[in-house]
Structure 1
Amino acid sequence: MVRSMTGFGRGVTTTDDFQLTVEIRSVNHRFLEIHSKFPKEWLEIELLAKKQLSQLVSRGKLDITINVKMEEQSSFNVQVNWPVIEAYIGAKEQLSSRIAMEENWSMQDILSLENAILYEKSEIPIEQLKLATQSALNEAAEQLIQMRELEGKQLKTFLLQYKDELMEQLKIIRKFSPQAVEKYRVKLIERMKEITVSKDLDDRILAEVALFAERIDISEELDRLESHFSQLVDTLNEDVSIGRKLDFLMQECLREINTIGSKNQSIECSVAVVQSKTLLEKMREQVQNIE
């Protein structure tokens, strides 16, 4: 199946204590490159996430971001620091023995005492984080792959359309390429008649035309091009990563069409060659984004 290398996926895992969100963005790249933005203390989870993605995706530059939002009721754990409170009480009693002070303390007074109340942020167990990350990552990866496959179908359609147009250009080249030999023969006869009256003129012309025909023969290049197009269709139906293979086929097709253009100089063929190059460049642009 043809898959693009661009896409986006988002996965969410919600528990009683927190909500974990994973987002994956993907663009085209020659190889598989995964960048992640995880908290430093989540190194083990980050490595597991990269390994999990590398088993699902073959090529592309992937950016993974993760965000954890704690539920309000579980975000903080409030503790009374009794040793500190008792120390403040002792200090107050000492002050009261010398100066008049109010006996009652308000809650505001207590909260104003440094370190009297401890606020501890809830810690999520590592195993719970692993499971939550794996679940959210699976959901995000599934969305990412679905988007890549959807765009891949469009790319496949474009490539097959371009291939059909190229086949039409090859028909034109096959039709008009023999005319180059005939035009050369006529031109050669006129030229030879101007410079010689030899009785062996016909034989000399035939020999020269034969050499010219062999020199500009493009039948092998045309056959190889049609073979490449056949491989293109077969490759588009494969279930593995095909981007690099398609890129190689495009290079070979362009090499063959360049050879055809350099060998055959007829006007009709030259026009078809230019059109073929344009189509191949469009195909290469599309192929650059296939996994």
Structure 2
Amino acid sequence: MIQSMTGYGKAVVEYGEKKINVEVKSLNSKTLDLSTRIAPIYREKEMQIRQMVSQALTRGKVDFSIWIEKDTVVDATPVNGALVAGYYKQIKEIIQKNNIPEPADWLATLMRMPDVLTKTETETLTDEEWEAATKAINEALGKLTEFRMQEGAALQRKFSEKIDNIAALLESIEPFEKARVEKIRSRIIDGLKSIPEVEYDKNRLEQELIYYIEKLDISEEKQRLANHLKYFRETMEETQGVGKKLGFIAQEMGREINTTGSKSNNAEMQNIVVKMKDELEQIKEQVLNAL
């Protein structure tokens, strides 16, 4: 089944006082083009994260983000009370000793002193937290894959519709094709008859007519195009990534349609070829988004 390269997935896992958020977005690309935004505590795991993403998403322009939300009360920077008291005592002694007026706002003065609000603890990634982060990553990747499958199903329905349209147009060529051969023959013979002084060998004329008509014959092109349509349908049902393969088949279909148009030598047939080209162009545009 077809998967789209367009997708979105997000997961949130709680760990202690934290919320681990993971968001993954993807668009179409010829290869895997991965960009990451990783919270500092998880940067040591960047290579492992990249490996997890590349295994789940083989192609596409992928934006991966993992960040942490913390309880604002728990995460508040602690005030060093002992240091504040020490600063107050020292400043008070200096004021009294030098007869300096006391500050109008003691709190503002003390809070500006060095290291009063300095946060000294460092975060260490534990195995338990990494396990929770891994769960969030896998959940987000799983949701993105589900999104891709839903989009892929819509693509497959669109492709099937266009392939059916091309097949129907191909069948509609047949009546014009048969009439065209007789029309070409009559036009050449009538042209010769209009020049009475010209003598010609009727056997040779018949041979030349056969040669000319064979050059305009599109039986092989029709058969190859029908085979390509069948192969396209079969490829859509394959389980692995089929986007590139479908693109190659669409190119081959285009060659047969173009050759049919160049050989048609008939207004009605050329109109049908134009319609087939239009249907194929819509397939080519959408196949770029197939995984």
Deviation at 1:241, TM superposition (A): 0.7
Distance 2:284 2:94 in 1: 86
- Closer/same/farther in 2, CA of residues 95 and 107 from structure 1, 3 Å limit: closer
SS at match of 2:16: coil
* TM-score, structure 2 as length reference: 0.87
SS at match of 2:3: coil
Distance 2:230 2:31 in 1: 26
State the partner residue of 2:229: 229
Deviation at 1:68, TM superposition (A): 1.3
Contact 1:77–1:122 (CA under 8 A) maintained in structure 2? no
Q: Deviations over 1:222-257 (max 9, x none)?
A: 111111111111110011111111111111111110
Alignment of 1:15-164 (within 5 A): 15-39=15-39, 42-76=42-76, 78=78, 80=80, 82=82, 85-86=85-86, 89=89, 92-93=92-93, 96=96, 108=107, 111-112=110-111, 114-115=113-114, 117-120=116-119, 123-127=122-126, 128-164=128-164
Contact 2:39–2:67 (CA under 8 A) maintained in structure 1? no
- 1:280 and 2:283 are equivalent in the alignment: no
Amino-acid identity (%): 30
Q: Deviations over 1:21-67 (max 9, x none)?
A: 11111111122111122246743333322211110112111112233
Contact 1:76–1:119 (CA under 8 A) maintained in structure 2? no
SS at match of 2:74: helix
Distance 1:242 1:143 in 2: 21
SS at match of 1:75: coil
State the partner residue of 1:254: 254
State the partner residue of 2:219: 219
Alignment of 1:160-239 (within 5 A): 160-196=160-196, 201-239=201-239
Contact 1:24–1:64 (CA under 8 A) maintained in structure 2? yes
Structure 1: state its 5+ residue gaps. Answer: none
Distance 2:94 2:279 in 1: 93
Deviation at 1:74, TM superposition (A): 2.6
Deviation at 1:131, TM superposition (A): 2.8
Contact 2:19–2:69 (CA under 8 A) maintained in structure 1? yes
Please give the root-mean-square deviation of Cα atoms over the aligned residues, in Å: 2.9
- Closer/same/farther in 2, CA of residues 107 and 208 from structure 1, 3 Å limit: same
Give the stretch that moved more between structures: 219-228 or 190-199: 190-199
Give the stretch that moved more between structures: 148-157 or 36-45: 36-45
Task: Give the letter aligned to residue 184 of structure 2.
Answer: Y
Distance 2:227 2:100 in 1: 104
Distance 2:234 2:131 in 1: 40
Contact 1:257–1:273 (CA under 8 A) maintained in structure 2? yes
Contact 2:78–2:119 (CA under 8 A) maintained in structure 1? yes
Task: Give the letter aligned to residue 136 of structure 2.
Answer: A
- Closer/same/farther in 2, CA of residues 168 and 98 from structure 1, 3 Å limit: closer
SS at match of 2:241: coil
Task: Give the letter aligned to residue 209 of structure 1.
Answer: L
SS at match of 1:117: coil
Structure 2: state its 5+ residue gaps. Answer: none
Contact 1:23–1:66 (CA under 8 A) maintained in structure 2? yes
Structure 1 moving runs of 4+ over 6 Å: none
Distance 2:168 2:80 in 1: 84
Distance 1:149 1:65 in 2: 22
Distance 2:205 2:214 in 1: 14
State the partner residue of 1:11: 11
- Closer/same/farther in 2, CA of residues 6 and 121 from structure 1, 3 Å limit: farther
Q: Deviations over 1:243-286 (max 9, x none)?
A: 11111111111111001100111222111101100100011111
Contact 2:156–2:236 (CA under 8 A) maintained in structure 1? yes
State the partner residue of 2:266: 266
